[in-house]
Structure 1
């Protein structure tokens, strides 16, 4: 896997975020769309993709997912839960995914806590980058355990 420093993508990721905010504003009830993932943290290593986190009031989760289905492509439906839906943004300048979560849900907390810690703690970012460099078949398992530890720290 070819890794790149997130710093190379931050400007383009911010532009994608702005485009998606403009696209979603008239379609959804009140929501928050934020840049998340490796491309959101200066100094992080990334595959070159962009991750967006769409947070909505729990009462609006189902209608938000239905609206997202009309503008995005469904991806990874096998990981969907009652509080997580995942999509891909067609035609974005970089491969871009959108995770939809209700505010306060497990995945909402996980995304916010983990990426906040990685953006503020150089030691944790170094550990994340080392894990990313090592990759391997068990990468997703190790990443999940790492993120579990970060959530427990908060």
Structure 2
């Protein structure tokens, strides 16, 4: 798996977030768009993709997903759940948009996990090591899921 330092991509990742934010406004989508994932963290290793997280009011989740289906291709359909939708965003860097209702299990997992990585350098190093040691894409995805599940079990909770 080819990895690069996130620092080299952060400016482009922020531009991508800003472009998508403008597109969401034009679509009439309400919510809070965050740059998340490795490209949001200085010192993180990344595969070179951009992760965006759109947090929407729970009562607008289904409507929002419907609007987004008209604008973006569905991505990772096997990852979809009652409180998670994922879309691919065309652009210079591969970009995924995860959509969650605020306060849902997936929302808390995303927000808490990335906050912990941002605030605890030892966790970021562990996450980087997990990426370096993964034998292939499937191994990486399995390790990453276990890592974020363990973070959730450690008692961290979204305030």
Aligned partner of 2:150 in structure 1 is: 149
Matched, 1:105 2:104: yes
Equivalent residue for 2:71? Answer: 71
CA-atom RMSD, angstroms? 1.1
* Matches of 1:32 and 1:108, distance apart in 2: 12
**Which 10-residue stretch deviates more, 21-30 or 80-89?**
21-30
**Cα distance, 1:140 vs structure 2:** 1.8
* Structure 1 residue 29 displacement after superposition: 4.3
Q: Distance in 1 between matches of 2:28 and 2:126?
A: 37
The answer as to whether partners of 2:29 and 2:67 remain within 8 angstroms in 1 is no
Give ranges in structure 2 of 5+ residues lacking alignment.
none
Equivalence for 1:120: 119
With normalisation by structure 1, the TM-score equals 0.95
Q: Is the 8 A contact 2:7 2:42 kept in 1?
A: yes
CA distance in 2, matches of 1:35, 1:29: 17
Counterpart residue number, 2:44: 44
Q: How many matched pairs?
A: 153
Distance in 2 of aligned mates of 1:107 and 1:77: 15
| Structure 1 segments (4+ residues) deviating >4 Å | none
Q: 8 Å contact 1:29–1:64 — kept in the other structure?
A: yes
